[in-house]
Amino acid sequence: MLASLLIVFREVIEAGLIVGIVLAATKGVARRSLWVAYGVGGGVLGACLVAGFAGEIEQLFQGSGQELFNASILLLAVVMLTWHNVWMAGHGRQMAREMRQVGAEVAAGERTLTALSIVVGVAVLREGSEVVLFLYGIASQPGTTTASLLTGGALGLAAGAAMSALMYYGLLAIPAHKLFRVTSGLITLLAAGMAAQAVLFLQQAGYLEVLTGTVWNTSWLLAEDSLVGRLLHTLIGYSDAPNGAQLVAYGAVIVAIVLLMRWEQGRQARLKAAAAPAPVAAE
């Protein structure tokens, strides 16, 4: 039971953390729970489909279908996270102010919820398909231990959900006016880590065979498959032995997001100045 608990927990930890971050990043936005639920639901459905067609996906692109599929959905998540951050850079301050002043849910920001819903869906789909395959494998083998393994699996899922709650309430402890800045930072690192992971999949697919040499190895300090290593892998893209192309992708995504956020901030400020020549409200 413990073994299956650990396997399932290990797989759902990533999705759990991402859901927690997304919930915190959208605090105060109307109907965000619904959108997150869409993401989770869609992800579970997708996970079952991917698990069911694992063999077929694998046969695509000369046996590199699985890697290309993983890389594609990760890159989709990177684009969505970027979009969210850039949008928030333009509207976040206004949202935070509305939240403080009115204490009510903000109607704005629903557009960016679509993006985050997709991110949640992708996270659930990726990890979920492995959980489905694992649990299906157990369930299809009759044996005395099946029930206890499935119990372990259910407990693992619950532990993943608890991780989600922990992340969410942990982030909520941050004062509201700083919350968006913190979640923007987290989302930037999340996106960079996903891009580095996508590079690894492209390399495994044989499509990106540049800078594949390991640049440094810190497994002696913190192994990536330890619990802390896994948490950091999800949150900031920690890898104990990254290769050159991964580091390039990681850095490029951070730079791109920061530049795009600055640009959008400036654009919104100019728009506001043009629309209302004498703004009174202080930022």
Partner 1 sequence: MKLVLLTLGAVLVASSALADDAGIPLKLKNHRFTPAEIHVKANVPNLIVMSNEDATAEEFDSTSLKVEKVVAGNSSGNVRIRPLAPGRYPFMGEYHSDTAQGVVVAE
Residue 149 sits in the site that holds partner 1 (CB under 8 A): no
From 96, 130, 171, 253, residue interacting with partner 1 (rule: CB under 8 A): 130
Is 219 an interacting residue with respect to partner 1 (CB under 8 A)?
Answer: yes
Q: Which is nearer to partner 1, 138 or 187 (CB)?
A: 138
- Residue from 24, 27, 36, 66 that binds partner 1 (CB under 8 A)? 66
Would you count residue 69 as binding partner 1 (CB under 8 A)?
A: no
Q: State CA 223 to chain mean position distance.
A: 21
Among 33, 37, 107, 136, binds partner 1 (CB under 8 A): 136
**Contacting range for partner 1; rule: CB under 8 A; set: 61-69, 89-97, 109-117, 184-192:** 61-69
- Of 76, 155, 211, 254, the one binding partner 1 (CB under 8 A) is 211
d(CA 35, CA 25) in angstroms, rounded, equals: 13
First CA to last CA distance, the chain: 54
Q: How far apart are CA 263 and CA 124, in angstroms?
A: 32
Cβ contact 262:238 at 8 Å: no
Alpha carbon distances (Å) from 139 to 7, 29, 125, 199: 15, 40, 20, 34
Q: Does 241 bind partner 1 (CB under 8 A)?
A: yes
Instruction: Give the type of residue at 61.
Output: F
| Crossing angle for the helix pair 110-139 and 32-52, to the nearest 10 degrees | 40
| Among 14-22, 34-42, 53-61, 273-281, the segment contacting partner 1 (CB under 8 A) | 53-61
If we measure between CA atoms, which residue out of 115, 133, 126 comes closest to residue 14? 126
Residue 63 is a binding residue for partner 1 (CB under 8 A)? yes
**Using CB under 8 A as the criterion, which residues of the chain lie in contact with partner 1 when the complex forms?**
3, 7, 51, 54-55, 58, 63-64, 66-67, 129-130, 133-134, 136-137, 140-141, 200, 203-206, 209-216, 219, 223-225, 239-241, 243-244
